[in-house]
Amino acid sequence: MQRLIKGRINKLGICVILLLSLLVGRLVQVQLISTESFTDQHINLIEASVKQRTQSLVIDEGRGRFIDRNGLPLTHDYFPSVILFPFLNGLDWPKEELAGILQMNASEIDRLLVDADKPVVLSESLTDEKMEQINELDYPGIVALYRQFELDEKIAEHVIGLTGEDVDTFMKRYADKVEKENYSPHTPIGVSGLEEAFDEIILPEGSTKLLYHVDRFGGPLFGIDVRYMSPSNPYYPLTVQTTLDRNIQQLAEKTLNEYQVKKGGLVVIDIETNEVIAMVSKPSLDHENPSKGAGAHNFMLEPHFPGSVFKTVVTAAAIEENVVDNEMVFNCDLDIRGNLLEDEKKRMGTINLETSFSQSCNYTFGEIGKQLAQKDNDALDKYAAMLGLKGTVGWKGDMFGFDDFVQIPSEKENVVWDNDEDKGVPLAVAQTSIGQKDVKVTPLAVANMMATIARGGESKEVKLVSDILYKNGTTLFTFPEHERDVDKLSSYTVMQLQHLLREVVEGDTGTGWRMKGLSYEVAGKSGTAQTGKFTEDGPELLNRWFAGYFPIQSPKYAMVMVELDVVDENNVSSVYSKMVQEIYNLENQER
C-alpha cells in the first residue's frame, strides 16, 4: 500500500513539474521571445502593455500624404492646435492667461475639461505668434503645435484611393518589415489608387504623438510630464506630389454633380507636360462599402466602346497611308453594310472626308477601314498604337529602388481586336473602323490621344505624380518625361487632323457645334457607341463621348467627357462646355 501511495505521489509530482515547465515556457515566450509578435495575429505585447497604461494624442499618423501640383493638400493638412490634457482638472494652472491668448472665457475651458477622459483639442484661429505665447506659459499639459487633420472634403477619391487594415495582405507585402523592423501587421495599407501604387514608400515608420502615463483611475502615474514621441528619421514621412490641380479637380467634381452624371466621368491633361490635371469617375465611392458596386471602379482607367471617337485613328491612318484625299466622296445615304439608311434624317448625301468626319458618317469610315486593311491588315493596330489607343499609356520606368515602377497600376489595356482573324473580314473591319466590334479604350487614353495631336504628334506617357518630396519639402525624386516608344505621325497628317477636329466644332453641320462660341475655342470629336446592353424596357444603352483640346491657338488642355450606359441622357456637351468656360474663368481670375 505504501509503495502504491509513493508511486502516486511521484506521478503527481511529475505532472506538477510538467505543468510548471509549461507555464514557465509560456512566460518565457510572452516576456522574452515573442514580445513583438505574439500569436498568429502578430500582437506586439510591449506596445499593448504601454497602450494599457498611457493616454496619447496622435499628432501625425506617419503615413505619407498627397499634395497637388501647386503644393495644396489633397488628403491631409497641418493646422495649429492647442492640446489640453485631462489631468489639468483640479490643478492650479494658468487658465486665465490661456483664455486671454485664445480670446475665450476661462469657464468655457473648464466646461471642456471637466468630464474629459482624453486630451482636448482646441483648433481656434491661431497665429504662430499666439502659439509661441501659449508654449511660453511652459506648463505641462498645455501644448500648442501643428497637428495633422484629414481634410473634410474628399478630393479625387478614385485617383488618390483608399487605405485600410488588412493583416493578410500586409504580411504578403511586408513580412520582412514585421520580422526585422517591428512593424505591426495592423498598420493601414493602400488598397486602391495612388495609395496602393505608392504604398511602400509612404508606409508609416511610426506615428508622432503626445503621451503620458496614467493609473487605473486615469490620473497621472509619474507626475504631470507629457512626452513627445516621433520617428527618429527627420526626413520622413514622404510627400507624394501629384500632377492634379486641386482647383480644376474640384471644379470637375462640382460640375459632374451639378449635371447629375450617374456613370462616366472626365479627364483633363496638361498638353505640354502630358500630366493629368483632373480625373473624376462617377458614381462616387460608397463610403459604407467602398470595395463594392460601381463606385469602386475608376471608369476613367477602364476601357469602353468609343464609337466615332475612334474615327480619329482611322483618319490618321488614311492620310498617312495615302488611301484618301479630300477630293474623294462617299455615299453617306448608306450604312456600313452598303444598305440605304431607313431613317431619311440620317442620310447625308455624297460628301468628302472632311464633311464625313465633321458629321460622323459611318459609311465613309467603314470603306476607308476596308481600304486600309487591303493594304495592311495591321494598319488600325499600328495607328491606334501611335495615338495611344493600344496597350496602356501611364508612366512606367525605374524609380529609386524600384525597377519597372508603374504609376497607374489600375489602368486597363486598350483593345482594337479580340480576334486577329477578324482583320480579314470586311464587315468586322468596317465595324472596327467606327469604334464598335471589339474596340474598347479608356478615357485616359483618349485624352492622351488628343494631347498627342494638339502637341504636334509627339507621344508621351501620362503622369499622375511629378515628384516625391522629403518631409522638409526638398525633392527626393522627380519623375522624368517619357516619350512612348512608337512611330510618330508626319506633321502633315497631324496638321490635317487638327483642322478636321476644329471643323467638328466650327463647321455648319459639325457634331460638336454646341462647343462653338466658348471663351476658349475648342477642337474635338464626338462619339456615340452601342454597348450591346439593353434596359428592361428594350432600348439599348449607349456611351456618349466628346474628346478634344483647347484653346486651339495655343493648346493647353486636352479633355475627355464620357457618359456610360445611358439612353436619353446627354450631358456630355453641357458638361464639356461648362468646364471649358470655368477653366477660362479660373485662369483669368488668377491673372
Packing angle of the helix pair 491-506, 443-454 (nearest 10 deg): 110
DSSP state of 378: T
| Inter-residue contact 55 to 212 (CB < 8 Å) | yes
| Inter-residue contact 169 to 187 (CB < 8 Å) | no
Q: How do strand 142-150 and strand 76-84 relate by DSSP bridges?
A: antiparallel
Q: What is the CA radius of gyration of the chain?
A: 32
Q: Which of 527, 509, 506 is nearest to 345 (CA)?
A: 509
Catalytic residue among 192, 308, 410, 577: 308
What is the SS3 assignment for 47? Answer: helix
C-alpha grid cell, residue 129: 505668434
Q: Which of 93, 92, 104 is nearest to 143 (CA)?
A: 93
Q: Partners of 561 in the beta sheet? A: 266, 546
C-alpha grid cell, residue 4: 502504491
C-alpha grid cell, residue 157: 477619391
What gap in Å lies between CA 252 and CA 156, rounded to an integer? 10
What gap in Å lies between CA 267 and CA 446, rounded to an integer? 9
573 is catalytic: no
| Inter-residue contact 266 to 579 (CB < 8 Å) | yes
Q: Which residue has the cell 439612353?
A: 567
What gap in Å lies between CA 47 and CA 57, rounded to an integer? 15
| Inter-residue contact 81 to 144 (CB < 8 Å) | yes
| Inter-residue contact 409 to 197 (CB < 8 Å) | yes
C-alpha grid cell, residue 327: 477630293
By annotation, the residues acting in catalysis are 308
